[in-house]
Structure 1
Amino acid sequence: MMDVIGIGIGPANLGLAALLEEYEDVTCCFFEQESEFAWHPGMLIKGTDLQVSFLADLVTMANPRSKYTFLNYLHESNRLHRFYTFEQFDIPRREFNEYLSWVAGELDSCQFGMKVEEVTDCEDGYLVKVRRLKDGALSEYRAKHVVLGTGSKPMIPVDVPEAALPHVTHSSRYVDQQKELHEAETVAVIGSGQSAAEIFLDLLQHQKKGQKLSWFTRSSEFRELETAELGQELFTPKYVEYFHSLPYEERMNTLPRLAGLRNGIDASTLSRIYQELYHRSVSGEEPSVLIQPMTELEAIHMEDEQQVELHLTQWQLKKEKKITADHVVLATGYTPNIPEWFSVYEPLIEWESDKHFKVTDDFRLVFKDKRSHHLFTFTNLDHSHGTAATNLKLSIYRNQKVIRTIRGDTKEQVKQETAFQQFE
């Protein structure tokens, strides 16, 4: 029986696998159904950067001496001198994906093309059934602990008729449809976050003569990401521990107030959009562009074989409008990706609401009957851990907490001296 099986290989479980390499007393294996590692491949637009520092790699905040740091990747790739001259903390998103892929290739514990079909209890652990997708072979593995790291899936806010599907693209597939979108006569973007802004900027930069672009968001404004240092201290273990200690209702009330820190748009992206629009307005020319906040997408219908009709509402004025478009890009975010096998455990665990299971500070699901073999989750954590739910830097903190529990190490403390502010 192994100590740990990780299900899904995104940055969270990949970082856990990298950190566990340091512990010879822990046996582990991680499974991913995709054939190779890819981190949001549909949003790897040329010229886009991470919204966090390269120091938020898989291991640096826990062990900067690890061979799996981003800086060591640059060294191994013969890019370190160029990076020194680059003089930026925010690195290209495509380069970060290549770094993650490099780490995945270095770890024998990470297996791709392997789909976990079933997880059940067995003795003091879990029985995990895994199918190898290339030949259909089914294998069984046993582990004392399981870590759920299946990430998220695209959130589509309205029903999309089957006939309209070829005309509707979620932002997670933007790069796949990029050429077609550049050539469309009319394109509408829905959403208010960084992905929506990057997509609109890319479309704007490639806008051909006569092409009409629209950008709608239900938010009251296109909000700039807050980057002030004191605000960033909410992305520290100290604040996460405080947030987790709050009652459920207070945590849910707090989440909207964190939106400016988590879901805003980089100032540089907003500036580039405005600069592009301003230059086009010289000599009285007006860009063929419509940008409108406070406008919610209500429905999508087929207009004809070539276009879809969007039903929109300017909610402040309660004013309805309809527009047609050849293509619509939904940059509408994501929802937790909970696998089907998890339904076995739904009646066995405690819940804080119909949608939110109870999670301990070290990311364990709380079972009604106490157990020593744990089911950890890195998925669906907004309600329990707030800013730590998806933040890359804090994924290391999550992994440190999990490792400490797995090893039963009461001496190894996760350092909390991470913020100047006091939260209680």
Structure 2
Amino acid sequence: MSDTTTAHDVVAIGCGPFNLGLAALASTVDDLDLVVLEERPEFTWHRGMMFGDASMQVNFLADLVTLVAPWHPLSFLAYLHDRDRLYAFTVRENFFPSRREYEDYLRWAAAKLPSLRFSHRVEEVDWNADEERFAVRAVRGDGTPVRLRARHLVIGIGTAPHLPDALAGLPGDRVLHTADYLYRTGDVDRAERVTVVGSGQSGAEVAVDLLTRNLDGGPAVGWLTRTGSWAPLDYTKMNLELTTPAYMRYFHSLPEDVRDRLVGEQWQFYKGISTDTLEEIHELLYRRQLEPGLRDVELRFGTAVESAAVDAGGRTVLGCRHLDTGETFDHVTDLVVAATGYRARPPAFLTPVEKLIRRDAGGRPVVRADHSVELDESVTGRIFVANAELHAYGVSTPNLDIGAVRNATILNAVTGRETYRLPRRSAFTSFDAPGRTPPHAR
């Protein structure tokens, strides 16, 4: 091994909230050497959707560590105490932080973790059978090459904004994804009409902003979504049992085709809209009735956008289909905001080890109960994934409140002991058939 190569127990790639939480939990494990590599120069989180009054949809206990280590020095309560806001937060009696405050918490935690290496772009990962280590090749922001060896990897590069084929042909000045909305408000202000395509929480929050601008004399607003209603997030307490570690373990034990069916059926857990946001939208629409002369607003659900182009007159024309009747029509606008979600990003740096990864019938990596990918038997190390196992663990996979449990599971697997105690019972509901033994427990 050359002098320029460093050896570690774990190299985590990507520094979003999940790998940040992994580093936080690992920071109190004395005999574990873990580093996190991140291409960006600093930690940021959803800046393009950081509306001033936007609230988290999980409470403060769903921080980096609390659900498995409430005593941890990097908890949200420790952050509040350090910032001298703990008493004020208690009196506030609203245990859902704003997104802005939550990002400040994440940045506070990141600043306390020397294991994080920003401005490090990973270019290639390979398996060295002789050393029984993964070889990681990265480049620092100044162009300096970096080489690392690791017994295990954790891939947490997150998801990428998705633009469907129907919108992909539009020029960049005519379409933007919700992830970039606040970076493109100049384009919004210059438009005569702005149309949101898609719904979910992000689309609804953009609709709130556009309706507020409309009340102040801003552009006309369109909102088109293929869902059959303005569907609320189903966050009733008993249904939230489907987001618990107990249900995720049960979900993982099911056959592949059953898991795929359930992901489709449970879309309201991650594609719905909070009731507070729906009420805010209705209030804004009601207020418009008292303000004559405003530009128009057009809301349509059950509508699929099937094409998009700029016509000879310079207008953006969306070809739409009304799903109940099958009738087609054109929707004319100036700017399209795509509330079309995110998709997993296949990491190009894993190309050298692709042949070692076992895949299911859908071509997706087979993910074990400990969140590691099933590899060829010759590989003694493990590749763990964070927020890339929706097909294996269900709709709670991207939820912040599962992050600490998943990271504790990974650290227990890496250390070979119960470094962190996992929840024994997290749901009142029994999900399995009586007497059934899940495959991973056989």
TM-score by length of 2: 0.92
In structure 1, the partner of 2:319 is 311
- Tell me whether 1:180 sits opposite 2:187 in the alignment: yes
1:129-174 residue CA offsets vs partner (Å, 9 max, x unmatched)? 11012x1110101110010000000111125566621110001101
1:280 Cα deviation from its structure 2 partner: 1.6
Residues 187, 212 of structure 1: 8 Å contact kept: yes
> Aligned equivalents of 1:162 and 1:314: distance in 2?
22
Q: 1:306 deviation in Å?
A: 4.9
- 1:179-208 Cα offsets, whole Å, 9 max, x none, are 431342100001120000000001111124
Alignment-derived partner of residue 440 in structure 2: none
| Aligned residue number for residue 97 of structure 1 | 103
Matches within 5 A, 1:17-416: 17-122=23-128, 123-133=131-141, 135-158=142-165, 160=167, 164-207=171-214, 208-209=216-217, 211-282=219-290, 288-304=296-312, 306-409=314-417, 413-416=421-424
Matched residue type, 1:145: H
- Deviation per CA, 1:6-65, whole angstroms, max 9, x where unpaired? 000001100000000110100011011011111111111111111111110101111111
Tell me how far apart the structure 2 counterparts of residues 279 and 381 of structure 1 sit (CA, whole Å): 43
Post-superposition offset of 1:411: 8.1
Distance 1:282 1:206 in 2: 15
Relative to structure 1, the CA distance from residue 352 to residue 282 in structure 2 (aligned partners, 3 Å threshold; closer, same or farther) is: same
Partner of residue 4, structure 2: none
> More deviation in 144-153 or 304-313?
304-313
Residues 380-389 or 265-274, more deviating: 380-389
Check whether the contact 1:33–1:112 (CA below 8 A) recurs between aligned residues. yes
Q: Which runs of 4+ in 1 moved over 3 A?
A: 159-163, 282-287, 304-307, 410-413
The CA deviation at 1:314 is: 1.0
Rate the CA distance shift 1:31–1:412 in 2: closer, same or farther, 3 A.
closer
Distance 1:206 1:337 in 2: 34
Compare 340-349 and 230-239 and name the one that shifted more: 340-349
Shift of 1:388: 3.2
Equivalent-residue separation in structure 2 for 1:40 and 1:355 (angstroms): 30
Comparing 14-23 with 72-81, greater Cα deviation is found at 72-81
The 2-side partners of 1:152 and 1:106 are apart by 25
Distance 1:284 1:178 in 2: 25
Instruction: Give the aligned residue type for 1:331.
Output: A
Indicate how the Cα distance of structure 1 residues 412 and 35 shifts in structure 2: closer, same or farther if over 3 A, else same. closer
Instruction: Please give the secondary structure, in 2, of the residue aligned with 1:6.
Output: strand
Cα 1:262/1:416, change in 2 over 3 Å: farther
Question: How far has the Cα of 1:419 moved from its partner?
Answer: 0.8
Gaps of 5+ in 2: 1-6, 433-442
Q: Structure 2 counterpart of 1:146, which letter?
A: L
How big is each residue's C-alpha offset from its partner over 1:372-420, in whole Å with a ceiling of 9 and x where there is no partner? 3111111421110103310101011110110000001168652221111
8 Å CA contact 1:188, 1:215 repeated in 2: yes
Q: Which of the residues 3, 6, 9 maps onto 1:3?
A: 9
Going from structure 1 to structure 2, the CA distance change for 1:38 and 1:355 (only over 3 Å counts) comes to: farther
Distance in structure 1 (CA, Å) of the matches to 2:313 and 2:44: 34
Greater Cα shift, 163-172 or 341-350? 341-350
Aligned in 2, Cα 1:283/1:116: closer, same or farther, shift over 3 Å? closer
Q: In the aligned structure 2, how far is the partner of 1:375 from the partner of 1:284?
A: 60
- Alignment equivalent of 2:428, drawn from 417, 420, 423: 420
Mapped partners of 2:132, 2:27: distance in 1 = 24
Q: In structure 2, do the counterparts of structure 1 residues 408 and 178 end up closer, same or farther at CA, with 3 Å as the change threshold?
A: same
Whether the 8 Å contact between 2:69 and 2:420 is mirrored in structure 1 is no
Partner-residue secondary structure (3-state), 2:123: strand
Count residues in correspondence: 423
Residue 37 of structure 2 aligns with an amino acid whose one-letter code is: F
Post-superposition Cα deviations, 1:65-102, rounded to whole Å, max 9, x if no partner, equal 11111111111112223212221122111111111111
Given the superposition, is the C-alpha separation of residues 350 and 300 from structure 1 closer, same or farther in structure 2, using an over 3 Å criterion? same
User: Is the partner of 1:136 in helix, strand or coil?
Assistant: coil
CA distance in 1, matches of 2:219, 2:179: 23
Larger mean Cα displacement after TM superposition, 160-169 or 217-226: 160-169
Could you say what secondary structure the match of 1:312 adopts?
strand
Give distance in 1, aligned partners of 2:323 and 2:234: 25
2:20 to 9, 14, 18: 14
- Note the residue ranges of structure 1 that are not aligned, 5 or more in a row: none
Shift of 1:284: 8.3
Separation in structure 1 between the aligned mates of residue 286 and residue 293 of structure 2, nearest angstrom = 10
Q: Does the 8 A contact of 2:217 with 2:295 survive in 1?
A: no
Decide whether the 8 Å contact of 1:231 with 1:261 is kept in 2. Answer: no
RMSD: 1.8
Percent of pairs identical after alignment?
33
